[in-house]
Amino acid sequence: MILLGEKLVSQRHTRRHWLQIGALGPVGLSLAQVLEAQAIGNSSATPRSCVLFVLHGGPSQLDTWDMKPAAPAEVRGEFRPIATSVPGVHIVEHLPRLARLGHLFSIVRSMHHTMINHNAATYIVTTGNPPLREQIAFTPTENDFPHLGAQLAFALPGRGLVPTAVTLPDPVSDGPYTCPGQNGGFLGATYAPFAIHGDPNADDFTVEGLVSDVGADRLRGRQTLLRSMDSFLGRLNDERRLDELDRYQRRAFELLASPATRQAFDLAGEPQRVRERYGRHKYGQSLLLARRLVEAGVRLVTVYWGGRVNNPDPHWDTHFNNNRRLKDDLLPPFDQCFSAFLQDLAERGMLENTLVICTGEFGRTPRFGQFTGNGVNETGRDHWAACYSLLLAGGRLGGGRILGRSDRFAAYPAEEPYTPQDLAATVLHSLGVNPTRHVRDAFLREVPLSEGQVRPHFFG
């Protein structure tokens, strides 16, 4: 007799418990556990996809996309605007490559919401719904609204050999508090985005579970042993969730055995000149991997730049040394990788069918040293959600446009205010999902996927 514990026999168990037990299996079930967090992607030959590039920490709108050269020095800062390829449109001088590609992207200068802490603000950006509470110590729960990728997996279930949604390279957090809104929330792990952890630029980077050194015979042997364990577990408890576990295991083996899927995650297949073009750093290679995943049929890829806002990696939370950090640490690698990504999509004919969003969870204060409760000195800018900017690319309408307008200090929207709810509704609509479709949340309420307003002029 295999001792699995008295609680296993005497109590009903959730899928999470069974997956924990499944880790005893001969393949470790690490991939099966990952796959439980995925909905398998659409296998259409020409899928509409979206890449969400989150600059975690909150980049300053005044020092990037919405400069105010006529404002007082404590507002405008020391950076100068430069012309883009679009007449009359200017961005910061430290983004020269993107300036030459201004015709490929549009700038929204009137985004706003009310969340001034990283975790709550990240939640509203990644889910398109406001959180139940606004506080710093705010971590994921099963009551959360699901990530946009999970919403897509729920609404557009597919049978292909790629996930519907993928997130990389690391989850983002505020200190010890992982930001909610990055997983399946109340939809459950079944629909959560496939999470890739690690640095794609590292020589030893691999996607957990996607190993090429396990032959078909070994896989079949492992699958037989897993079925034996499942049969034993079934005699202990015939809960319907066991059938789901078996399905996830089957999908795990399908994915392990799929050369096409492994190839999509294999950056070694890219020419060195392409890898250098994106930049040999974590976020450059993450965007390159995002392009490969879109090509393979993934519907939504989220690339998080930042990890923990207090870690050694360069993040966008510039409470102190705003100018130096932007000029030296952040804007140059961002300019390289994001310009390469947009140009690569355009050259491959993918941009019209790939919606691209580059955003922080909020912006920064209009004045240097302006305190909003999160700490700042005269060299930095604090959190500011009342007005910020983001970039859009892709879709039929293309780039080269300015959407919305901020006031003279980029403090509040002056025309056409937009919200993260509007953006989420528009993305769902553009990818073929009705944003008003109802789903049952953790409190058994029937709620729409999004309460935002679809803005057709974002993408067309």
pLDDT tens by residue, 172-183? 999 889 999 999
Number of neighbouring beta carbons within 10 Å of residue 217: 8
**Least-confidence region, from 219-233, 316-330, 443-457:** 219-233
Residue 349 lies in a domain: yes
- For residue 58, the domain's CATH number is 3.40.720
**Residue 411 falls within a domain, yes or no?**
no
Average pLDDT in the chain? 83
- CA dist list (Å): 140 to 185, 194, 304: 8, 16, 17
Q: Is residue 36 part of a domain?
A: yes
Q: Which of 25-39, 240-254, 350-364, 366-380 has the weakest average pLDDT?
A: 25-39
Give yes or no for residue 186 having a pLDDT over 50: yes
What is the value of pTM for the model shown? 0.83
110-119, 151-160, 165-174, 194-203 — which is least confidently predicted?
A: 151-160
Question: What is the arithmetic mean of pLDDT over 84-96?
Answer: 98
Total of domains in the chain: 1
| Confidence class for position 265, pLDDT limits 50, 70, 90 | confident
Question: How many residues does the structure list for the chain?
Answer: 460
Nearest to 287 by CA among 269, 299, 264, 303: 303
Residue 9 lies inside a defined structural domain of this protein = no
Asked whether the predicted pLDDT for residue 184 surpasses 70, the reply is yes
pLDDT at 175: 85
pLDDT band at 132 (very low <50, low <70, confident <90, very high): confident
Measure the CA–CA gap between 260 and 135, rounded to whole angstroms.
43
Cβ distance 79 to 99 under 8 Å?
Answer: no
Per-residue pLDDT of 26-59, as tens digits, reads: 333 333 333 333 433 333 333 389 999 999 999 9
Q: In this structure, is residue 120 part of a structural domain?
A: yes
Q: Is residue 261 part of a domain?
A: yes
Strand partners, 173: 178, 308
Predicted confidence band at 370 (pLDDT cuts at 50, 70, 90)? very high
Residue 328 lies in a domain: no
Q: Answer yes or no: is 10 within a domain.
A: no
- Between 407 and 12, the more confident residue is 407
Domain membership of residue 365 as a residue range: 15-83+94-169+182-305+333-377+389-406+420-455
